Amino acid sequence: MRMRKASKWRDLWALGALLAALTLVAGCGEDEGSGDKDAGAATNDDTAGGGDAAPLEDVPTKTGSVKVLVFSKTAGFRHGSIEAAVKALEGVAADHDWDLIKSEDSKALHADALKDVDAVVFLMTTGDITDADAKKGLEGFVKGGGGWVGVHSASDTEYKWAWYGGLVGAYFKDHTAADAPGDLVVADQTHPATKHLPTVWQRKEEWYAFKSNPRAKAHVLMTLDKGAMGHDHPHAWCHRYEGGRAFYTAGGHSDAAWGDKAFLDHVAGAIDWAANRVKGDCSATVAGNYKLEEITQDVGAHPMELDVAPDGKVYYIHRRGIMKVWDPATKKTSVVADFAKDGGLDAPEDLPANAEDGLMGFALDPKFGDNGHVWIYHSIKSPVENHLSRYTVKDGKLDFKSEVVTLKVPVQRELCCHSAGNVQFGKDGLLYLSTGDNTNPFQSQGFSPIDEGKGREKFDAQGTSANTHDLRGKILRLKPKADGTYEVPAGNLFPKDGKGGKPEIYIMGVRNPFRMSPDSKTSRLFWAETGPDAGGDDPKRGPMGYDEVNVADKAGNFGWPLCIADNKPYVSYNFQTKASGAAYDCAKPVNDSPNNTGDKDLPAAQPAMIWYPYGPSPEFGAIPKGSGRTAMSGVLYRPTGKGGDLASYLDGKLIWMDWQRSWIYETTVDDKGRAVKLNRFVPELKIQRPIDMQVGPDGALYILEWGEKYPGNNPDARISKLTYVPTK
C-alpha cells in the first residue's frame, strides 16, 4: 500500500512498536564495557542480529519540519567532542527545518517518547545505554519506518543487543591515533550524505576498524584508503533495516571534525535521509538486489560481441561468421547474416591453428533505429587483410550488397596471435576500432616479443605496436561520414597529413586491446588488454607479465612492447645471442628495430591505470591471485533515465571483467584518471567467462558469456540480462 499522509505513517510505527514489544527477547543487560580509547576493544563477537522484514512501499518524502532526537548517552569512554557536535547540529537545525531534541536519558527512546520523532541520532554513544523499554521503543520505531543515524562510537555501543548489531551494521574493533591523516574514497556521490564530497576526501580522524565488513548487508558509501581492514575498509554505510532506514558514519571524533563544513553536511545529509526528507538509494551493493535473467543460449561457438538496438533487440556475433538477433517480443533468435557463406569471410577453420581472425567485432550505428547501419570488423580471404565495413540491415537480414569498406588493416595469418577487433561508438559519434599486435608471443618466454633476427618479423611487436606507420597494436579513431567513408577527427596522435604516423591512430603501444569502453558523456576512453605470461621478473629480460586496464583522456602511446604496467621497462634482448642490453627508456622510447617502418623516436609511454600479475596484486588488493588472467573492459556505466537503470551510484563507474576468472569488477576513477576504488561487482553473480557486455536502452546490463571451456561450442554459453531491484 502507498501511504501519503503522516498519520498513516504514525499508525504503522505504532503497529511496529507493538510487534516489537511482543517479540523482544528478554535479558539484555546494561553497563557493557566500552571499546573506545580508554576502555579497549569489546570482546563480544560481531552479530548481524535483526533480520529482514517484508519491504515496505517507499514512503513519500516529508515536507515541513521534522523532529530529530539527538541521543548522546555514554556508559564507557565519553568523547569530549559531544558538546561541539551538539552545538554544530543546533547551528544547522533551522536550515534543515529540524525540531531538535537533545537527551541522555534512555526514557527518550521509549515508545511514547518516540511517537512524534522522525529520526534518532546516536551521537558518539558508548556501552550499554538502554533499558528494556528503550530497546522495545527503538525497535518499534525502526520497524514502523523510522530513521536512525549512528555517529562514530555508536558502533561501540550495545554489544549484547543483537538487533542493534544489525542496525548499526558492524561493531567497533580498534582505532588509530586521534587526528591521523587519511584519504576517504567516496564511491557513492549520489546519496544526500555524500553527493557534495570529492572522489577522494582528505581529512584527519581517529580511524575506526570494525569486527566485520558490512558490505553486502549494507551499502558502503565510502572507504578508507590503505586502512587496517585492507583494500575494503568501510567508513560510512547505510541500509534499509526491518522497514526503517539506518545510516552509520565513523567520523566525528574531534571538535575539529564538527567545525568542518563538509563533514557537518555529511552528517546533516544522513539525518535528512533518515528522516525521509530526501531520497537516497541504500541498496545498491546489498546482496540480492540484482536479478540475472538468461535470455538465450543460442549463441554458437566462439561468441564475440553483442549490441542492443533501440527497440531492445540484441544482436550478437561469433568468430566463425554468424550474426544473430534475439527478439524480446518473441523471445526467439534468428540468423541475420552468415559471413562465411555470403560475406567472403576468412573463417577460423580456414586459417592456421590458433589464428584469431574471423568475425571479430561490430557496433550498431548510433542512428541504427533510423538507418539500419552496422559497422563490422572481419577478415577476408584475399588479400590478407581485415576490413572495417559498413553494412545495412533490412527486414532482419544483413544486406551484403550494401557493404562500404571503410578501412583496411593489412595483417599476417601465418602465425598466431592477437587480432583484437572491438568496435565501439563514443561521444560525438566517433568510431573506435581496436587492433592487436598480430605478433607471435610463444617464443619470448613470457616476456616482450622483440626478436629482431632476420626472418623473425612475425615475432617482433616493434614492427606493429611500436610502429607509427602500422595500424596494428593500436586503437584507431575515425569520424564516419554519411557515405560510409571517414575523416580523421582532430586530436588523434599524429597529424592528418600522416607526418610522423598514420593519422587514424589514437592510441599506440597496445598488445591486444580486446575490449574498449568509451564514455558517452566525455572524451575518455577505457580499454583492457591481456599481458604476457612471465611469472616473475628477470633482470636480463624485464618485468613479469601483467594484464592492464587503461584510460586515456587524449591520444598517447601506452608502451608495448617496450614498457608495461606502470611503465616497467623491458630490457633490450638479442634472441640469437641471448645477450641483454639496456632497459628501455619509457619517458623517451626509441624503436630502432629493423622491422620498424615508422618513426624511431616515439611519444612517451603512458602508465596503465590498473595492472595485475598472476600472483597477488600489492597495488590493487581487490584483485586476488589467480590461475589465469584475461582483463576485458566492459562498460563505462551511464544511466539512461528511462526507468530500468542500475543503481544511480554506478553513474561514471567503469564495469570491467576478467574472462579467465569469471569475475566482474567496478572501479571508481578520479578526475586524474586514477583507479581509486576497485571492488567485485555483484559478487553473487554466477557467470562463465564474460566476454562482452553492453548497456541496453532500458539501462539494464546485457552480458555475453563464452562458457566454461576453451576452445569449443559450450552448452553453458549464453546471453543474460542484469537488472536492479532496489530494496524499498
Return d(Cα 86, Cα 81) in angstroms, integer. 9
Instruction: At 199, list the grid cell.
Output: 572522489
Give φ, ψ of 318 to 5 degrees.
Answer: -125, 160
Return d(Cα 235, Cα 552) in angstroms, integer. 30
Strand order in the sheet with 610-612: 515-518, 525-529, 547-552, 610-612
pLDDT digits (tens, 9 = 90+) for 275-303: 999 999 999 999 999 999 999 999 988 89
Quick count: other Cβ atoms within 10 Å of Cβ 95? 8
Q: Residue 382 — pLDDT band, cuts 50, 70, 90?
A: confident
Q: Are 245 and 150 in contact (CB under 8 A)?
A: no
Helix, strand, or coil (residue 99): strand
Task: State how beta strands 385-394 and 701-705 pair.
Answer: unpaired
**pLDDT recorded at residue 3:** 28
pLDDT digits (tens, 9 = 90+) for 227-269: 999 999 999 999 999 999 999 999 999 999 999 999 999 999 9
Return d(Cα 713, Cα 43) in angstroms, integer. 54
* 15 torsion bin: left (phi>0), alpha (psi -120 to 50), beta (else): alpha
**pLDDT recorded at residue 643:** 83
**pLDDT recorded at residue 348:** 61
Q: For the chain, how big is the Rg over CA atoms in Å? A: 29
Query: If you count DSSP H runs as helices and E runs as strands, how many of each does the chain have, helices first?
Result: 9, 41
Return d(Cα 102, Cα 211) in angstroms, integer. 30
29-43, 570-584, 703-717: range with lowest mean pLDDT: 29-43
Return d(Cα 201, Cα 43) in angstroms, integer. 32
Instruction: At 360, list the grid cell.
Output: 571479430
pLDDT digits (tens, 9 = 90+) for 491-507: 999 999 988 999 999 99
Instruction: At 526, list the grid cell.
Output: 577505457
pLDDT digits (tens, 9 = 90+) for 56-101: 335 567 778 999 999 999 999 999 999 999 999 999 999 999 999 9
Helix ranges (H only) for 446-576 are none
- Give the percent of the chain with pLDDT over 90: 84
CA atoms within a 13 Å half-sphere pointing along the CA-CB vector of 610: 30
Q: Indicate the helix (H) or strand (E) that contains 20.
A: helix 6-23
DSSP letter, residue 369: H
Query: How distant is the alpha carbon of residue 312 from its chain centre?
Result: 24
* Residue among 689, 511, 548, 704 nearest 631 (CA): 548
Q: Are 232 and 679 in contact (CB under 8 A)?
A: yes
Q: Residue 23 — pLDDT band, cuts 50, 70, 90?
A: very low
pLDDT digits (tens, 9 = 90+) for 131-159: 999 999 999 999 999 999 999 999 999 99
Return d(Cα 535, Cα 543) in angstroms, integer. 9
- From start to end of 502-578, where are the E strands? 505-508, 515-518, 525-529, 547-552, 556-557, 563-564, 568-569, 571-574
- From start to end of 309-384, where are the E strands? 314-318, 322-327, 332-338, 359-364, 373-380
Q: Residue 347 — pLDDT band, cuts 50, 70, 90?
A: low
Q: Which residues pair with 98 in a beta bridge?
A: 66
Q: Please give the model's pTM, rounded to 2 decimal places.
A: 0.90
Residue type for position 336: V
Instruction: At 93, list the grid cell.
Output: 537545525
Return d(Cα 521, Cα 473) in angstroms, integer. 26
Domains of the chain: 33-274 (3.40.50.880), 290-724 (2.120.10.30)
Please report, to the nearest 10 degrees, the dihedral formed by the alpha carbons of residues 629, 550, 181, 192 taken in order: -100
